[in-house]
Amino acid sequence: MSSNYKILSHTADIAAEIEADSLEELFREAFNFWLNSVAEIETFDFEDEIEINLKADSLEQLLVDFLNEVNFLLIVKNILCVEIKNLKIDTEKKLLHTSLNVQNLKDISLLKEEIKSVTYHQMEIRNKKDKYQVKVVFDI
Amino acid sequence: MNINGIELKKIRENLWEIPQTNGMRVPGRIYISREMLESTLSEDEALKQVMNVAHLPGIEKYSLAMPDIHWGYGFPIGGVAATNLDEGVISPGGVGYDINCGVRLAITSLTQEEVQPKLESLINRLFQNIPTGVGASGAIRKLSKADLKKILEKGSVWAVENDLGTQNDIQFTEESGTLKNADFSVVSERALERGADQAGTLGSGNHFLEVDIIKEIYDEKVAQVFGLFINQVVIQIHTGSRGLGYQVCDDYLKVLLKASEKYGFRLPDKQLACAPIKSQEGQDYLAAMQSAANFAWNNRQVIMHLAKKSFLDTFNMKESDLGFRLVYDVCHNIAKIEKHRIGNEIKKVCVHRKGATRAFPPGSEMIPEKYRSVGQPVLIPGDMGRYSYVAVGTEKAMEETFGSSCHGAGRNLSRHKAMKEAKGRDLVSELKKKGIIIQAKGYKTIAEEMPAAYKDVADVVDVMHKEGITKKVAKLKPIGVIKG
């Protein structure tokens, strides 16, 4: 899986600067950053599909909620979301709809990291010259 | 001195002040040596975060930081701030995701010579009995919602009522292991789901259980009161409220982001989202945070019980011969309503300690009677290859830091850099050569948590000692570690 984000140096946690051509792509890349942080990609094997629908007060909140949602599914339900099939964002109403391929894990104790949460630290979605950018920091 | 564009004024040898500027309601004060200030804070945003915290409505005296200060979210790690109850706010950014992350120290009557022959099987048994790693679960039976409700309300009292501890354990836990205004009804279903199977689990990252020996004693009188002697085998447990606490923080950051807007607070960082303590939003967060804190105390209590059982089984001893006793349990991620002197008045304030330990002095009614002649034990773990410290609280801590001290070493290397450093090395053998046996879920954790990844905790503890905030009592050396 190619990664269009840059891992930033962070003493205690994990951070990345993400850039994409569209808002949807930005969310996809943020998802890939999460996925590569928690699991080894070689182990992926699709078994099922789930849908996620979210509403938030801001686009930043929508991104935090989306990443926290896939993280919750992993930590509590042992469901690893491995691929975004489709993703739509309504920027006016701050709505997200996505369907994802998932793998049901028997044991999550050997995953790479336990992400406590996605933080709001320095999170601001910027749109400059047709490029979307955001910094994402995971507390681990 | 200027660090990262921030002017610092020297107040004492190890105390620096950031003057009150635009929007800051109070000055910032950092307890740190010049050397640590220059070497550890020149590249991160921790000092800026000290300034940001000074913007909080109702903050009293100073935005403080302890010598293990480093980059956090909202508050820096090592940050302390007290807000008054009239106009003051409460902020999850001053507590952190791992609500009531903390440390407990328990002693045995065994010496290193008695433990050494069976040390390896002891560590294996501890690793077998105490779930570690990502999403660790199943230390005790899966809890029903009714059990969870009781844990959130009662803290470690629940464990004792379920034969997972003794009355003595309650007595030697900060706040007796229960914050009384916890309220189950303001904790989300999602948080409960994250906690349902995690009571008695260490988790991952920097959490650990360590078997140590007392290597050095600095204050014989205090050590004796705490029950410590040279060569004694003791254990330290470092963990918190696990997924339940992380979820409570997440849930209330959202609530308090809205509240910050509603009350018209202009804050320099979203992660400092807050609400007036008196408001409904503030009261709800306080009650949910207290519930998570109670979950954490119960967690460490259950782990300690499993550790005691591991000792009894390994050494085939009766409980009365093992001499296992909790010295103290402290939290280092919390916000608590406490009484402190502000000017000429004793006022109730909300003390946020984010990566900082309470350090109450001799005579305090808030510490166990047994320790009132000397002060509260302050537990400061270091990395797994060097040492940790036991210190004691002082009156000066009450005068200057709202009764607070440091909480640990703080990272020196990023996880990525630590992995690079560890490449081609056999850290398990290296630790074994130093007399330390380690068990972990995977080698990655050992690499990320390698001793060189952390600063020398002795430097941190010495700043607090020299400034008279806490006084050193004993130095601990690890001989066995289990990690996630």
Chain centroid offset of residue A45 CA: 18
B414/A10 touch (CB, cutoff 8 Å), yes or no:
yes
B83 neighbors B49 (Cβ within 8 angstroms): no
Summarised one tens digit per residue, pLDDT across range B361-418 is 999 999 999 999 999 999 999 999 999 999 999 999 999 999 999 999 988 888 888 9
Is B218's pLDDT higher than 80? Answer: yes
Show the domains of chain B with their CATH numbers. 2-483 (3.90.1860.10)
Mean pLDDT of chain B: 95
B414/A11 touch (CB, cutoff 8 Å), yes or no:
yes
Burial classification of residue B162, based on how many CB atoms lie within 10 Å of its CB (0-12 exposed, 13-18 middle, 19 or more buried): middle
Is A2's pLDDT higher than 60? Answer: no
> What is the pLDDT at residue B466?
98
Q: Which of B49, B98, B201, B414 to mutate to test the interface with A (most CBs of A within 10 A)?
A: B414
**Is residue B108 within 8 angstroms of chain A, CB to CB?**
no
> What is the pLDDT at residue B343?
92
Whether ipTM > 0.85 holds is yes
> What is the pLDDT at residue A1?
43
Express as a percent the part of chain B with pLDDT over 70: 100
Residue B217 C-alpha, separation from nearest chain A C-alpha, in angstroms:
31
Structure tokens at B472: 């050193």
Helix (H) or strand (E) holding B377: strand B377-380
Residue A9 C-alpha, separation from nearest chain B C-alpha, in angstroms:
7
Residues in chain A: 140
> What is the pLDDT at residue A121?
87
> What is the pLDDT at residue A110?
66
**Considering only residues 16 to 55 of chain A, which have any Cβ-Cβ distance to chain B shorter than 8 Å?**
none
Task: Identify which of A11, A75, A112 has the shortest CB distance to residue B243.
Answer: A75
User: Mean pLDDT across the stretch A106-126?
Assistant: 86
A76/B250 touch (CB, cutoff 8 Å), yes or no:
no
Distance CA B475, CA A46 (A): 52
Place of tokens 């354990």: B169
**Is residue B73 within 8 angstroms of chain A, CB to CB?**
yes
How big is the A-B interface in CB pairs under 8 Å? Answer: 91
Q: Which residues of A touch B91 (CB under 8 A)?
A: none
Distance CA B184, CA B179 (A): 12
B73/A76 touch (CB, cutoff 8 Å), yes or no:
no
**Considering only residues 166 to 225 of chain B, which have any Cβ-Cβ distance to chain A shorter than 8 Å?**
190, 193-194, 203-205
Rounded to 5°, angle at Cα A40 from B438 and B101? 50
Rounded to 5°, angle at Cα B148 from A61 and A103? 55
Structure tokens at B119: 């040390």
Task: Identify which of B97, B271, B411 has the shortest CB distance to residue A116.
Answer: B97
User: Mean pLDDT across the stretch B113-142?
Assistant: 89
Show the domains of chain A with their CATH numbers. 5-139 (3.55.10.10)
Structure tokens at B80: 């302390």
Q: Which of B128, B201, B241, B250 to mutate to test the interface with A (most CBs of A within 10 A)?
A: B250
The β-bridge relationship of strands B232-239 and B102-111 is: antiparallel
Residue A26 C-alpha, separation from nearest chain B C-alpha, in angstroms:
21
Is A73's pLDDT higher than 70? Answer: yes
Q: Which residues of B touch A105 (CB under 8 A)?
A: none
**Is residue B233 within 8 angstroms of chain A, CB to CB?**
no
Is A18's pLDDT higher than 50? Answer: yes
Q: Provide the annotated active-site residues of B.
A: 407
Strands (E), B240-344: 275-276, 325-331, 333-342
Structure tokens at B378: 């302050």
User: Mean pLDDT across the stretch B110-132?
Assistant: 96
> What is the pLDDT at residue A3?
59
List of residues 6+ apart from B410 with CB closer than 8 A: B40, B68, B69, B70, B77, B78, B454, B455, B460
Structure tokens at B177: 């292991």
Is B137's pLDDT higher than 80? Answer: no
> What is the pLDDT at residue B40?
84
Task: Identify which of A76, A110, A117 has the shortest CB distance to residue B249.
Answer: A117
**Is residue B411 within 8 angstroms of chain A, CB to CB?**
yes
Q: Which of A34, A71, A76 to mutate to test the interface with B (most CBs of B within 10 A)?
A: A76
User: Mean pLDDT across the stretch B294-309?
Assistant: 97
> What is the pLDDT at residue A44?
64
**Which of the four pLDDT bands, split at 50, 70 and 90, describes residue A43?**
low
Q: Give the residue with greater pLDDT, A107 vs B181.
A: B181
User: Mean pLDDT across the stretch B255-281?
Assistant: 96
